Amino acid sequence: MSDSLAVDRQGPVGLVRMNRPERHNAFDDAIIAELTETLRTMEADDGVRVVVLSGAGKSFSAGADLNWMKRMAGFSAEENKRDAMGLATLMRTLAHLRKPTVARVHGAAYGGGVGLVACCDVAIATCNATFALTEAKLGLIPAAISPYVVSAIGERAARRYFITAERFDAAEAFRLGLVHELAQDEAALDEKLGAVVEAMLACSPAAQLAAKDLIRAVSNRPVTSELIQDTAERIAKIRSSPEGREGVAAFLEKRRAAWVPPPPSE
């Protein structure tokens, strides 16, 4: 692995840090491939229960490396399509990861950086973080990230920010729902991150996976009899599953469920 990613483990938490601070963690095709591979490895590792994505240095991520964009402009249409699939694959891998994901956002999150934030289940940012979908200003469009960004901020806000490329602040990102929580500074950010991770670890991994799948199944769908039937089948299945039984039994028996890590004192 190159130095552009720093990967670590803290018990059941997989830490993925983009590590190209001199370029505000802008990513090119090689970093995209590495990041995708790292996420897949963590997804396959039973020891990893939660994945935290962050950036080293001043920023979360300045998005696509513009030198890479410039380089690709000289390639054929076919090569461009193949190359662009790399970013689309990264976004889908992150958005559909079979484990809970958290974005730790500070400094700038621009272009593809906003995409990464939108793909995570939970996003927490410092109050002075800034966001922008700058593509139109560069003569481009935020294509690969659009399904996730539009789903996070809604069509109305996307209409504005995709075509003005205006920078917006953390308060606006919070108002739009792109980030769930704001923190005064990076120390407070880590504290809030710790609390979210702890909450995630207290939940059943199988239920979290089923919940992510459920959200995708019901989002933007009309409530038809098929959909109602589908939701009934999902709860029927999970309440008789091992983790469904264990979670309910643990509550009634006033004990910790099997998947909850013991408190540090034990």
The site for ligand COA (CB under 6 A) is made up of 23-24, 26, 59, 62-67, 108, 110-111, 134-135, 138, 140
Q: In this complex, which beta carbon is closest to ligand COA, that of residue 13 or of residue 64?
A: 64
Instruction: List the beta bridge partners of residue 167.
Output: 132
Residues 105, 129 contacting (CB under 8 angstroms): yes
Give the Å distances, CA to CA, from 246 to 12, 50, 99, 131, 201: 20, 20, 19, 42, 15
Residue among 135, 166, 226, 243 flagged as catalytic: 135
Q: In this complex, which beta carbon is closest to ligand COA, that of residue 70 or of residue 156?
A: 70
Residues 96, 151 contacting (CB under 8 angstroms): no
Can you tell me whether residue 59 is helix, strand or coil? coil
Minimum separation from the CB atom of position 57 to ligand COA (A): 10
Q: In this complex, which beta carbon is closest to ligand COA, that of residue 121 or of residue 135?
A: 135
Q: In this complex, which beta carbon is closest to ligand COA, that of residue 15 or of residue 66?
A: 66
Minimum separation from the CB atom of position 33 to ligand COA (A): 17
CA atoms 22, 28, 30, 35: torsion sign: positive
Minimum separation from the CB atom of position 178 to ligand COA (A): 16
Residue nearest to ligand COA (CB): 111
Minimum separation from the CB atom of position 138 to ligand COA (A): 6
Minimum separation from the CB atom of position 80 to ligand COA (A): 15
Measured distance CA(156)–CA(237) in Å, rounded = 37
Give the Å distances, CA to CA, from 214 to 119, 126, 148, 235: 16, 30, 16, 10
Q: Would residue 191 show up in a list of annotated catalytic residues for this protein?
A: no
Q: In this complex, which beta carbon is closest to ligand COA, that of residue 138 or of residue 235?
A: 138
Can you tell me whether residue 109 is helix, strand or coil? strand
Catalytic residue list: 135
